[in-house]
Amino acid sequence: MKKIELHLHLEGAAPPAFIRSIAAEKKIDLTGVFDERGDYSYTDFDDFLRCYDGATSVLKTPRDYARLLTEVLERSAEEGVIYTELFVSPEFCGEADLSAWRDYLAAMTESAAAGRKNGIDSRAIVTPLRHLGHERAKKTAICAAETAGEWVTGFGLAGQETNGKATDYMWSFDCAREAGLGLTCHAGEWVGPESVRQALDLGVTRIGHGVRAVEDPALVAELVRRDITLEVNPGSNIALGVYPDWASHPIARLADAGVRVTVSTDDPPFFHTTLRQEYDRLAETFGWGDTEFTQINRWAVDAAFCDKATRDRLR
């Protein structure tokens, strides 16, 4: 099945072997990033963010990012993905300096063009990190607004959701909206319904995760009424302990309530998952088949941050 993926962090998609080979080239010590089997090693979400930062620390140049994007797009294409949206952060690419960000972007755009020739189209969602705070996010929003266009088509907030409120980032989201970018925000992963409501107040059309909206039936009804799309990452939620197992994951309940759910992998090597595996588990756990998978991919196309011609091609 041809798949659309809306929620994939570029650094979070880096295979451990890729990070190790760049670390070896640059002679960077990665103690604490991998376990003895060579997998990413972390204990909880804060520790995941530490491990993620550690792995990302080897990516230092535009060329490193171009190589990473090439590798990630190849892997996604092997999963049957024909269109993917990647969270990319100017924080990691030149510390949110606009001129440095343009250099990283130029390198990544070449990899994206090569991916398109190989059958996988992509777009970038520029992402501030909540644990760095809202003042810092303004620089990232300016990078996003100044480079909005062909590849950069979205703006979203990731990182530690327990740090402040989404609405603290209103200035940055307004700046991104004025530049014509699509808006999404991680919410309802680590904090409950009130966090999803705050994200909605930013004027987003999509929510990253959003699954804990299920705790408030009035909010679920509002998501349906406003045609909000959830970028759901079930394997990520289970690996990080948001839910204990697949049977308790609310994706099927949200879909049954009429919420536009889509399925993505978030940071697949960190969670030992792939998009195929996510689909297989959904089929096993909830009996999902062609009807449900076709529906979630239609919803993903409807919500994608791309132009109409691309959307028509994906349909």
Give me the residues that bind Zn ion (CB under 5 A), please: 266
The structure tokens 């059958």 sit at: 119
Smallest distance from Zn ion to CB 234, Å = 12
Q: Which of 9, 165, 197, 206 binds ligand ADE (CB under 6 A)?
A: 9
Smallest distance from ligand ADE to CB 211, Å = 11
Smallest distance from Zn ion to CB 156, Å = 8
Smallest distance from ligand ADE to CB 236, Å = 5
Length reported for the chain: 315
The structure tokens 């509002």 sit at: 222
54 binds ligand ADE (CB under 6 A): no
Helix axis angle, 217-225 relative to 193-201, nearest 10°? Answer: 30
Token pair belonging to 311: 């959307």
Compute how many residues bind ligand ADE; rule: CB under 6 A: 9
210 binds ligand ADE (CB under 6 A): no
Q: What is the DSSP letter of 228?
A: P
278 binds ligand ADE (CB under 6 A): no
The structure tokens 């004027």 sit at: 203
Q: Please tell me the distance from the alpha carbon of residue 216 to that of residue 143, in angstroms, as a whole number.
A: 36
Is residue 278 classed exposed, middle or buried when 0-12, 13-18 and 19+ CB atoms within 10 A define those classes? Answer: buried
158 binds ligand ADE (CB under 6 A): yes
12 binds ligand ADE (CB under 6 A): yes
189 binds ligand ADE (CB under 6 A): yes
178 labelled catalytic: no
- Whichever of 125 and 148 has its CB closer to ligand ADE, that residue is 125
188 binds ligand ADE (CB under 6 A): no
- Note whether 62 and 94 are within 8 A (CB): no
Smallest distance from Zn ion to CB 89, Å = 11
**Active-site residue (options: 85, 189, 231, 292):** 189
267 binds ligand ADE (CB under 6 A): yes
- Whichever of 23 and 275 has its CB closer to Zn ion, that residue is 275
**Contacting residues for 210 by C-beta, under 8 A, at least 6 apart:** 187, 188, 189, 196, 199, 223, 228, 230, 231, 232
266 binds ligand ADE (CB under 6 A): yes
Q: Please tell me the distance from the alpha carbon of residue 249 to that of residue 233, in angstroms, as a whole number.
A: 10
**Contacting residues for 37 by C-beta, under 8 A, at least 6 apart:** none
Distance between terminal CA atoms of the chain? 13
* Residues assigned a catalytic role: 189
Q: Which residues bind ligand ADE (CB under 6 A)?
A: 9, 12, 158-159, 186, 189, 236, 266-267
